[in-house]
Structure 1
């Protein structure tokens, strides 16, 4: 469900459908980013403290999906361009500016500026 919702937003951004007020768009991106990060971090924590055969099997199915989606999200030019336009355009509160700067940096570290072949290689390495 989290990956499906994020994929739908990613598709709307890539088609140029998702527009709106700066604050609204920032809230939407922040909401989806936080939701994905929360699922991934809680899953990893649970794996570390409550290890069981059933959990390993469930997490073994979910983790590759989350990792693949987070890599796609982090390398999405549509999301990156949207964040950069927000970063360059609007007057933002200091906390929101720091969040936006952090998200842009996170995407740059995820390889958003790489060429297509290098992005694919980066995603393959992330999945290992």
Structure 2
């Protein structure tokens, strides 16, 4: 994600860490739908980032890459702070837990309403 976009996202959040919400990739024709997402915002200590980053993981199997496409995201909630891991397996295990937390949280009616917001109308 471009550095200017990361700055906008970070400035709107209270904490660095892992968030959940909804995301849509613009311009993928039939796949331009709104999907659950988790997003890591911060320094990503496992990879020793030198700049803050925002990494969105859309919870959907796309049939193609969408690098260069615009995405829209709506953050609904906070899962946890970012942390370092002793190995990649532990990082992946926590990502999988984050995904399950996001799915369960977004199944609530109030969060489902966010998915239907006009923000996602294109």
TM-score, structure 2 as length reference = 0.29
The structure where helix makes up a greater share of residues is: 1
Rg larger for? 1
